[in-house]
Amino acid sequence: MEKEYHKLVRDRIPEIIRQSGIECETAVLSETEYCQALRLKLIEEATEVAEADKDNLVAELADLYEVIDALMLSYGISGDRILNAQAKRRETRGGFTKKIMLLRTF
Protein backbone atom coordinates (compact mmCIF):
# COMPACT_ATOMS: atom_id res chain seq x y z
CA MET A 1 0.00 0.00 0.00
CA GLU A 2 1.65 3.22 -1.18
CA LYS A 3 1.63 6.27 1.07
CA GLU A 4 2.86 9.80 0.26
CA TYR A 5 4.74 11.85 2.86
CA HIS A 6 6.79 14.67 1.30
CA LYS A 7 8.26 15.68 4.65
CA LEU A 8 11.69 15.98 6.20
CA VAL A 9 12.70 12.91 8.20
CA ARG A 10 15.65 12.01 10.39
CA ASP A 11 18.71 10.63 8.59
CA ARG A 12 18.21 6.98 9.56
CA ILE A 13 14.47 6.77 8.84
CA PRO A 14 14.86 5.40 5.27
CA GLU A 15 17.22 2.70 6.61
CA ILE A 16 14.76 1.81 9.38
CA ILE A 17 11.89 1.64 6.88
CA ARG A 18 13.86 -0.66 4.58
CA GLN A 19 14.87 -2.90 7.50
CA SER A 20 11.18 -3.40 8.20
CA GLY A 21 10.74 -4.82 4.68
CA ILE A 22 9.18 -1.73 3.09
CA GLU A 23 10.70 0.17 0.19
CA CYS A 24 10.80 3.95 0.13
CA GLU A 25 11.75 6.73 -2.22
CA THR A 26 13.76 9.70 -0.98
CA ALA A 27 15.29 12.89 -2.34
CA VAL A 28 18.09 15.13 -1.11
CA LEU A 29 16.95 18.72 -0.70
CA SER A 30 18.80 21.84 -1.81
CA GLU A 31 19.89 24.18 0.98
CA THR A 32 16.92 26.47 0.32
CA GLU A 33 14.46 23.55 0.29
CA TYR A 34 16.09 22.14 3.44
CA CYS A 35 15.70 25.42 5.36
CA GLN A 36 12.03 25.61 4.38
CA ALA A 37 11.49 21.93 5.28
CA LEU A 38 13.07 22.54 8.70
CA ARG A 39 10.67 25.40 9.35
CA LEU A 40 7.73 23.15 8.47
CA LYS A 41 9.20 20.38 10.63
CA LEU A 42 9.41 22.85 13.51
CA ILE A 43 5.65 23.40 13.28
CA GLU A 44 5.01 19.64 13.05
CA GLU A 45 7.14 18.92 16.11
CA ALA A 46 5.70 21.84 18.10
CA THR A 47 2.21 20.49 17.40
CA GLU A 48 3.29 17.06 18.66
CA VAL A 49 4.65 18.69 21.84
CA ALA A 50 1.37 20.54 22.33
CA GLU A 51 -0.61 17.31 21.95
CA ALA A 52 1.73 15.03 23.95
CA ASP A 53 0.63 13.43 27.17
CA LYS A 54 2.87 13.56 30.22
CA ASP A 55 4.54 10.22 29.38
CA ASN A 56 5.56 11.33 25.87
CA LEU A 57 6.38 14.98 26.55
CA VAL A 58 10.14 14.48 27.02
CA ALA A 59 10.51 12.53 23.76
CA GLU A 60 8.52 15.12 21.84
CA LEU A 61 10.52 17.98 23.35
CA ALA A 62 13.71 16.12 22.33
CA ASP A 63 12.42 15.96 18.75
CA LEU A 64 11.67 19.68 18.84
CA TYR A 65 15.19 20.39 20.14
CA GLU A 66 16.63 18.31 17.30
CA VAL A 67 14.87 20.49 14.73
CA ILE A 68 15.93 23.67 16.53
CA ASP A 69 19.54 22.45 16.55
CA ALA A 70 19.35 21.69 12.82
CA LEU A 71 17.91 25.14 12.12
CA MET A 72 20.63 26.82 14.14
CA LEU A 73 23.32 24.85 12.31
CA SER A 74 21.77 25.54 8.92
CA TYR A 75 21.65 29.28 9.56
CA GLY A 76 24.98 29.45 11.40
CA ILE A 77 23.41 30.58 14.67
CA SER A 78 25.34 29.75 17.84
CA GLY A 79 23.77 28.54 21.05
CA ASP A 80 25.26 31.53 22.85
CA ARG A 81 23.51 33.89 20.44
CA ILE A 82 20.17 32.22 21.16
CA LEU A 83 20.75 32.29 24.93
CA ASN A 84 21.72 35.96 24.80
CA ALA A 85 18.59 36.83 22.81
CA GLN A 86 16.50 34.79 25.25
CA ALA A 87 17.99 36.63 28.23
CA LYS A 88 17.38 40.04 26.62
CA ARG A 89 13.77 39.17 25.79
CA ARG A 90 13.21 37.83 29.30
CA GLU A 91 14.64 41.06 30.74
CA THR A 92 12.46 43.35 28.60
CA ARG A 93 9.30 41.25 28.28
CA GLY A 94 9.52 38.81 31.18
CA GLY A 95 9.29 35.03 31.21
CA PHE A 96 6.30 32.80 31.81
CA THR A 97 6.73 32.10 35.53
CA LYS A 98 3.74 34.17 36.63
CA LYS A 99 1.36 32.05 34.50
CA ILE A 100 -0.44 35.15 33.16
CA MET A 101 -3.12 34.71 30.47
CA LEU A 102 -4.14 37.89 28.65
CA LEU A 103 -7.91 37.85 28.34
CA ARG A 104 -8.60 41.13 26.51
CA THR A 105 -7.52 44.69 26.02
CA PHE A 106 -9.75 47.79 26.10
Q: What is the pLDDT of residue 106?
A: 96
pTM for this entry = 0.89
pLDDT at position 11 = 97
Taking a C-beta distance cutoff of 8 angstroms, is the pair 14, 26 a contact? yes
Could you read off the pLDDT tens digit of each residue along the chain, which spans 106 residues?
Answer: 899 999 999 999 999 999 999 999 999 999 999 999 999 999 999 999 999 999 999 999 999 999 999 999 999 999 999 999 999 999 999 999 999 999 999 9
Give pLDDT, residue 33: 98
